[in-house]
Amino acid sequence: MTELSIPETEHRRRTRDLLERADGDGYDGLVLFGALNIHYASGMYHLPTERPVALGIADGRIEAVVPRLEREHAEREEFLIDEVTTYFEYPQGDPMERVAEMCDRLGLAEGSIAVDSDGSPARNGYTGPALSELVDAEVGVEAYITEMRETKSDSEIDLIREASVWANLGHRLLQERIEPGRRPIEVRAEVEAEAVKPMLDALGDRYEIRSWANPMQCLFTTGDVTELPHSMDQTTRIERGDNIVTIVKPSVGGYTTELERTMFVAEVSDEKREYFEIMKESQEIAIDAIGPGVEYAAVEEAVVDYYEEQGVTEYTQHHVGHNIGMEGHERPYLDVDQEGEIRPGELFTVEPGFYVPDVGGFRHSDTVVVTEDGTETLTDYPRDLESLIV
């Protein structure tokens, strides 16, 4: 049975790795302010607002500073935190002064500290001060966790694999509910509610929501709106003959997957059939190109060459794919300007697509994990045209 959270042993390994990286660069320890970075290192997740939250990591000890309303949550035994300090609120409570005091307790206040940002990020009206203004230590901004998240452990891959199982259910229910005259937002609301119940029934008390996102997100655009890859329009009514471009993203244990399909309502013109087959072939070319040791750029280059042969290059608007995990978009990217080689443990959304004016958008996306000797596609919803006619 898949565990639905990262084990404590892995969080301990992560903090050891962080300290080794920091020590190698001459730092005495670390302070993290980013919510995902704190979650990654300690297991403690929270809703980021204007109120600063900080995690201090030194050799042999981990502390956190949180607002009063997060105290009981932060003190949970499963989080890798030895001591929690609270302040009442922001702007009252002097939260960054409490962080500076934490640095002093950890022996970091007069040495050198690696941080993910110099103080709490500016959000929801937060205006500072910076940590470097309150401690005598040298403060250096480093992207250690961003680098560490590029490759996933077996535990992380298992969570994304579990999410991918539920993506197939969500998409099947979505396809069943699409019909002319309905609005995407109406269908989405029904499908997400219907899909969440069996998901939570099956996973039981092991499942825990770790963000404000729905455990199952099932979105789509329809008709002319599909020509805009990131359109937020969910109110245009579905019409017979429309293209539909979907995106289904369940989350399990703080990790997500991505499943997208191009579908058609009732009928498909010859022109759309031709574009669909080009898109489908381009995704197969991309997946076949991925493997350990392959340059990231080479994957997109293979698709670009194919698109040039097919005469659709002018309709492209984005690269072939991106890493995925705790966030929907992570680096590295399948992009002609991405340097480096693909490594085992990386996961990619493979989603070459193009968008034809007055015709519609064409994009499939599947989540692919890189193994020692190839790849494994975690999402397996039908990809052929006949299976995707509503």
| pLDDT at residue number 60 | 87
pLDDT digits (tens, 9 = 90+) for 66-124: 999 999 999 999 999 999 999 999 999 999 999 999 999 999 988 999 999 999 999 99
| pLDDT at residue number 214 | 85
CB contact set of 47 (below 8 Å; sequence gap of 6+): 35, 211, 212
| pLDDT at residue number 1 | 58
pLDDT digits (tens, 9 = 90+) for 12-34: 999 999 999 999 999 999 999 99
DSSP, collapsed to helix, strand or coil, labels residue 58 as strand
> Own/partner pairs for 328-331, CB < 8 Å, 24+ apart?
328/249, 328/256, 328/258, 330/149, 330/150, 331/146, 331/150
Look up residue 238 and give its DSSP letter: P
| pLDDT at residue number 253 | 94
DSSP, collapsed to helix, strand or coil, labels residue 53 as coil
| pLDDT at residue number 92 | 93
Q: Give the whole-angstrom CA distance, residue 367 versus residue 112.
A: 40
| pLDDT at residue number 207 | 86
Q: Give the whole-angstrom CA distance, residue 67 versus residue 74.
A: 10
For residue 363, list its beta bridge partners: 353
For residue 263, list its beta bridge partners: 244
| pLDDT at residue number 3 | 81
Cα-based distances in Å from 250 to 131, 199, 389: 36, 10, 23
User: Up-side HSE of residue 334: CA atoms within 13 Å toward CB?
Assistant: 33
Cα-based distances in Å from 339 to 297, 306, 352: 7, 21, 19
In our burial notation (b when 16+ CB lie closer than 10 A, e otherwise), range 331-351 reads bbbbbbebeeebebbbbbbbb
| Phi, psi torsion values for 281, nearest 5 degrees | -65, -40
Tokens describing residue 320: 């072939």
| Phi, psi torsion values for 229, nearest 5 degrees | -55, -35
Tokens describing residue 262: 């191009």
- Contact indicator for 369, 347 with CB cutoff of 8 Å: yes
What's the pTM?
0.95
Scan for tokens 């995704």, then name that residue: 283
Q: Which residue positions in the chain have pLDDT lower than 50?
A: none
